[in-house]
Amino acid sequence: MVDIIEQTKGCPRCKTTKYLNPSLKLMVNVCGHSLCENCVSLLFSRQSGVCPQCNTALRRNQFRLQHFEDAAIEKDIDIRRRILKDFNKQEDDFDDLREYNDYLEMVETIIYNLVNGINTENTKKQVEAYRRENKELISKNRTKYSRDITELNFLVEQEKVEEVERNQRLAEIEISEKNTKKKSKEALLNELTYSKMPASQVISSHMARIESEKAVKKPVTQFSTGAKLGGGFQTDFMPITQVKEPLYVYEQEEVDFLGPAPPDPEEIETEGFMENVRSATPTSLAGGYTHRLACQRALQEAFSGLFFFPAKFMDAMDFS
């Protein structure tokens, strides 16, 4: 069956979908909204216009073919490519790793703000100020194609190849479905022509057979990359060797504090030990440390060694 995602993929203006027009080509601009080729030609006949969804001023020569199913990804890649063209410092340009990580975090924040329309004007001013201050370094690093740009180009090219393969598979599926329907129609006509049964019975029998064939086929979920789930699985795995061992039984460890037994966690709560203990900070709680645990440890340290007498201990030891 034709992928549902491909069926619903279409132009938001004229509502044409891939299902209605398999040759539909979607275009995307800097604002990240999609339009089909016909709508781009109609709305931007004077080479400029506004996006019908967000009213952003656009130019026709800035439209490009949409490769990803989600237009927001196209917008992210376009902004990321433009920003990384100027923010092209590498780890070697910094004194230590911390400065480089801070720089990467700043770049990601700028990209995120521009993609999501957060504090756009101040972000653009920040980008322009960076360009002025690092003009020479930007020009120097542009001669070296950065690793980030290379990775982005690789992803785009990979998506192009996968889209071509996906379209080929969809075309093969559609041809197969058409041939199946044609054969089914011919079989029905032959049965109606040569069968001695009533026409209604022949038709009902034919429909029942078609439904049973559909039920036998397992539904296959297909990702945009073409990977399938549910279409089949491997059954010839080697058997797993089962090792029978006794189940682990937890035993409470007995600790000799050499002093009075400290209160247990329940007594710490009920006997008022927690009244003057400072509550744990969110950072401590995230690490698994509660204020009760801190109080319990302090009490254990306070009680530990109270019954320890060095003289008696030395007398009991055998130095022979």
| Residue whose pair of structure tokens reads 């004194």 in the numeric block | 95
**pLDDT band for position 2 (cuts 50, 70, 90):** very low
Q: Give the pLDDT score at 314.
A: 63
Q: Give the pLDDT score at 1.
A: 42
Q: Give the pLDDT score at 225.
A: 47
Q: Give the pLDDT score at 109.
A: 92
Q: What is the DSSP string of 222-280?
A: E-TTS-EESS-----PPPPPP---PPP---PPP---SSSPPPPHHHHHHTTTTTTSPPP
Q: Give the pLDDT score at 315.
A: 65
How far apart CA 115 and CA 74 sit, in angstroms, is 10
SS3 content of the chain, % helix, strand, coil (to 5): 55, 5, 40
Q: Residue 191 is encoded by which pair of tokens?
A: 């049965």
**pLDDT band for position 229 (cuts 50, 70, 90):** very low
Calculate mean pLDDT across residues 6-10.
64
Burial class (CB in 10 A: 0-12, 13-18, 19+), 55: exposed
Q: Specify whether the CB–CB gap between 49 and 29 falls below 8 A.
A: no
How far apart CA 171 and CA 190 sit, in angstroms, is 29
Number of CB atoms found within 10 A of residue 75's CB: 20
Calculate mean pLDDT across residues 176-201.
84
User: Average model confidence (pLDDT) for the chain?
Assistant: 79
User: Could you tell me which residue, 175 or 274, shows the higher pLDDT?
Assistant: 175
Distance of CA 41 to the CA centre of its chain: 34
pLDDT(218) > 70: no
Calculate mean pLDDT across residues 26-38.
82
Pairing of strands 26-28, 34-36: antiparallel
Least confident range from 91-100, 117-126, 156-165, 204-213: namely 204-213
Q: Give the pLDDT score at 105.
A: 92
Pairing of strands 26-28, 64-65: antiparallel
Buried-exposed string 3-22: b where 16+ CB fall within 10 A, e elsewhere: beebeebbbebeebbbeeee
pLDDT(318) > 70: no
Q: Give the pLDDT score at 320.
A: 54
Q: Give the pLDDT score at 7.
A: 54
Calculate mean pLDDT across residues 65-71.
74
Calculate mean pLDDT across residues 211-235.
54
Calculate mean pLDDT across residues 118-142.
86
User: CB under 8 Å to 56, separation ≥6 — which residues?
Assistant: 29, 30, 31, 50
Calculate mean pLDDT across residues 178-189.
86
Calculate mean pLDDT across residues 257-283.
83
